[in-house]
Amino acid sequence: MLTGIKAAIIGGDARQLEVIRKLTALNASLYLVGFDQLDHGFTGATKMDLDDLPLGELDALILPVSGSGPGGEIDTIFSNKKIYFTEDILQKTKQSCTVFSGITNPYLTKCTSNANKKHIKLFERDDVAIYNAIPTVEGTIMMVIQHTDFTIHQSNLVVLGFGRVGFSVARTFANLGANVSVGARRSEHIARITEMGFKPFYLDDLENEVESIDVCINTIPAPIITSNVISKMPSHTLIIDLASKPGGTDFRFAEKRGIKALLAPGLPGIVAPKTAGKIIANVLTQLLMDESN
């Protein structure tokens, strides 16, 4: 149980509802900022403005998955009010107050480190990233179906990157009958790709591997699908870029060449907010329990 734990949830999307549900079910006391348009009430959760938070009493500050904007702006789908997260807010919390977000950015990292606060980036954890790959892959399948006029089955599909998302993308599309090639830079990845029955290639050879592809799915957060690579692709190729913004594709060149290239951020929150929220809520609960012991 989380009896006695006080946490503020500041902004977010539908995923935070699962966090609120789980934390209140475990008897935590929650303060909800940026939820004034949320109709649903939760026993143990109180809506309020940022200025009214009892900052000195908080054990945790839970920010949206995205953390904040580059200037501290907090996104919320449950309010029209502008909310800004500042270092000053953190300075007023007690030393043991922990900040949680999915990812971070230079602004947020500077705030938490200047205020000397523990900052847990949930999406940097392997468990969260692997669970989160499940709705990400389902969203990717949805996008490929929506934006092509051919089946996944028998299509030639290239996956770039063989991390937590790339691995699941490759396996799932292969299970749907696609001819999957995977590009990686590490020899152990090349070995595993081979072992799993996909066609491996080193990323240095990417330009030579795209001449007869139908779909290219990128998971590498670095400029990888360059103009040189795009110019070798057939014109009907669909590029789905899953990597975090700004993605790894030269979108301007793709557009110039008439190749459809889509940056697809935040798929779990779009296609399965409830599951994606539960993934966050489960890990968050465990971390809060560990911290309170």
User: Which of 6, 105, 163, 257 is close enough to bind ligand NAP by CB under 6 A?
Assistant: 163
> Is residue 184 classed as helix, strand or coil in its secondary structure?
strand
Specify the length of the chain in residues.
293
Shortest-Cβ-distance residue relative to ligand NAP: 163
User: Which of 19, 50, 157, 264 is close enough to bind ligand NAP by CB under 6 A?
Assistant: 264
User: Which of 63, 115, 165, 225 is close enough to bind ligand NAP by CB under 6 A?
Assistant: 165
Looking at the chain, which runs of residues are DSSP E strands?
6-10, 29-33, 45-48, 60-62, 98-101, 119-121, 156-160, 179-184, 199-202, 215-218, 238-241, 260-263
> Which residue, 75 or 87, has its beta carbon nearer to ligand NAP?
75
Q: How far is the CB of 132 from ligand NAP (least distance, A)?
A: 5
Instruction: Tell me how many residues contact ligand NAP (CB under 6 A).
Output: 25
219 contributes a contact to ligand NAP by CB under 6 A = yes
Q: Which residue type occupies 252?
A: R
Q: Which positions from 127 to 156 touch ligand NAP by CB under 6 A, shown as an x/- string? A: --x--x---x--------------------
> Which residue, 178 or 264, has its beta carbon nearer to ligand NAP?
264
203 contributes a contact to ligand NAP by CB under 6 A = yes
Tokens describing residue 97: 């107050």
User: Pick from 126, 136, 108, 143: which is nearest to 216 by CA?
Assistant: 143
Distance CA 119, CA 251 (A): 33
Distance CA 241, CA 220 (A): 8
Q: Footprint of ligand NAP on this chain (CB under 6 A)?
A: 129, 132, 136, 161-166, 184-186, 203, 219-222, 242-244, 264-268
